[in-house]
Structure formats: C-alpha cells, structure tokens
Amino acid sequence: MANTHPFKRIGVVGCGNMGTEMSMAFSELGLQVWMWDILSKNVDGTQQMVDAEKTTKGKVTGYHDIKDFVKSLYRAERKLFMFSITHGNPADSVLEKVQEELKENDIVLDGGNEHYRNTKRRQKSLAAKGVKWIG
C-alpha cells in the first residue's frame, strides 16, 4: 500500500515565471515552500515578490546554494520536488545533485516540456529507490 502521509512542504527548483507563480500558489494552499534557482537574481526576485504579499509572506524560503536547498528538506518525512526548469540537460544536472537525498516515497514533479524517452529514463533510474518521477 502506498504511503499517504500528507506533504507539508515542497521544494521548487526554478524561480522563473512559472516557478514563482507555483511557489506562491503552493504557499497559499498551506505548504511551506523551499525554492532554488541557478540564478541568484531569480531567487531574490521571487523572495521579494512573495514577501510583499500578505498571504505568502513567511511561507517561502529561497536558497542560493543547491546543497543548502536540499539539506533544508532533509527532515521532511517525504520529499516533494517541483522542477520548473528547462528540459534536457538542466533537469538531469539538478536531478544528479538532489538524487542522493531522495528516498522511498519521495516524488519529483517535472514541469518541463520533456521528451517522453527522457521521462521514462528518469522514472526507471529512480524506481530502484522507490522514488516517483512524474512528468
């Protein structure tokens, strides 16, 4: 039987337009949001935007370093990541950096417009650890 423990936090990878809007939406739904982007200016811009809104202020934390970002999710019983980044090599690069922290019942949602073969490859790679890749 699948673990149905509710998620309390989400890690959003990518703070472009879509990642920013998702971070705000997830926080408005009650999730604590941790976000990271390869460009510090994107993290800072998103942080300013969410802190300016009463409904999202204090519910979103931005990280400039991916290692700090991943460590921030360490205590989560289950991890939920939303990838809002360019498909292809960038997605593989980020997955490589977070993969060792993933464990059984964690979920990665891929918001990129990815080729189905890459999706299947990532699903197969993570299945051995019991991690679900949805994309």
Task: State how far the alpha carbon of 135 is from the alpha carbons of 17, 30, 45, 53, in Å.
Answer: 19, 23, 27, 30
Give a yes or no: residue 45 inside a domain: no
51 part of a folded domain: no
Q: How many structural domains is the chain composed of?
A: 1
Indicate the pTM of the whole model: 0.87
The predicted pLDDT at position 8 comes to 86
pLDDT band for position 5 (50/70/90)? low
Of 100 and 75, the structure prediction assigns the larger pLDDT to 100
**Rounded-to-integer distance, Cα 57 and Cα 78, Å:** 24
Range(s) of the domain holding residue 108: 13-31+59-134
> Does 78 fall in a domain?
yes
Q: Which of 122, 65, 34, 120 is nearest to 131 (CA)?
A: 122
Domain contains 36: no
| CATH code (residue 103) | 3.40.50.720
| Any domain includes 48 | no
Is residue 46 included in any domain, yes or no? Answer: no
44 in any annotated domain: no
Is 47 part of any domain?
no
- 39 against 85, higher pLDDT: 39
What does DSSP assign to residue 84?
A: -
Mean of pLDDT values over 47-66: 94
Distance of CA 31 to the CA centre of its chain: 12
